[in-house]
Amino acid sequence: MSHQPESGLLDDASAIERIFEHIDNGTTDLGDTLWREPVSHYFSRARFDAEIALLRRSPIPFCPSAALPEAGSFIARSAAGTPLLVVRDNEGVVRAFINACRHRGMQVASGEGCSKTFSCPYHAWTYGLDGRLRGIPGEDAFPDIDKATHGLVPLSAREAGGIVYVQQQGDIDPEIMAGARDYFAPGQAYFQNSEVTDDANWKLITETLLEGYHIKSLHNDTFYPFGYDNTNLVETFGNNSRIIYPFQRIEALRDLPPEQRRLDGVVTSLYHLFPNVSVAVLSKHTSLTIMEPLSPTRTRLVSYYVMHSDTPDRPITLEAAQRDVAFVNESGQEEDRAAARAIQETLTTDANSHLTFGYFEKAIVHFHRQLADHLY
């Protein structure tokens, strides 16, 4: 991973110095605003529809570039309720299409893999990696079909910082992509993905990622023994945020000169990419997770995992990266998801008219403020 300073964010040495100040003083980064979010925003159909409209008109991370390593590599899944097909073409360019045959609307691909063409499983209409309609069985039966105008419907797609972005309505602004950060380094290997579905609004699940105020109470036997309670760096940049969760092993850096200190391996850096994506940089892997809204009260979490590259002082094996993923997913993340599901069950009761976020929850306040500004 690159150690160069990122505009608007602390460099490694400055971030580590601030972490030590928090550890020594029993403090954490604070916001300056109390936010009250109406509980109806977590189950209202009108609010949900507005959020889906926002996702469709925004450039949303779809997967790491490493998940499409060669010509013909593809991933087919739904995003913001739309079946998508994202593929790397023969020139190495990433393309995105609505995953619907132009004959009867059947999805032409599923899952992920590598293919030279896509053949509709219903009637075998065939499309190239560029989306063009290449073949119609019994073509004489469709005399008015112009194959040149019946390719898969394209969507705007761009790569930046090791991430593939897709925008379903309109074109991605190249100036936005020019400012995108490098979240993945060239040469990092994609090694697995996962999907889980929860009976909780997508925002509740997102909120669990964005503060360390709950580490000791919720993760007492999982994350807390390795880290700290409510000891975090919280930075915002544009619509996004970075929350750093230090491990206790950061203490090994105390005796190093500041210019030799590195965040790699001693913290989890969680980047929230507005509105519904997180990039979590851990010791041996980086994950990209999309909180896909399925309904006002149901969410699918789609995650892609990329190994960190070996370094002379820190070799990383596939088995070690897989153990890293399993620890996160099967311990702390399970507890976060259970909390989100439990909260969802109370929201239609008379217990609360709103959810309250305080100074310890700076990144969540930033998230809701950006959402309020962008929805209408």
If one counts every other C-beta atom within 10 angstroms of the C-beta of residue 196, the result is 13
- 3-state DSSP assignment of residue 275: coil
DSSP state of 311: B
**What pTM was estimated for this model as a whole?**
0.95
Distance of CA 5 to the CA centre of its chain: 22
Neighbours of 329 (CB within 10 A): 17
The predicted-structure confidence for 124-178, as pLDDT tens digits, reads as follows: 999 999 999 999 999 999 999 999 999 999 999 999 999 999 999 999 998 888 8
CB 234 within 8 A of CB 241: yes
Q: How many CB atoms lie within 10 A of CB 24?
A: 8
Average pLDDT over residues 22-32: 98
Question: What span, in angstroms and rounded, lies between the C-alpha atoms of 288 and 268?
Answer: 13
User: Which of 2-16, 22-36, 89-103, 176-190 shows the lowest mean pLDDT across its residues?
Assistant: 2-16
Nearest-10 Cα torsion for 351, 355, 358, 361: 130
DSSP symbol at 137: T
Domains of the chain: 12-54+185-375 (3.90.380.10), 60-172 (2.102.10.10)
189-214: pLDDT as tens digits: 999 999 999 999 999 999 999 999 99
Pair 310, 185: CB distance under 8 Å:
no
Where does the chain show beta strands of DSSP type E? 35-38, 60-64, 73-79, 82-88, 94-98, 111-114, 117-119, 126-128, 133-135, 154-160, 163-167, 190-198, 233-237, 240-246, 267-273, 277-281, 285-295, 298-307, 354-357
pLDDT at 65 over 90: yes
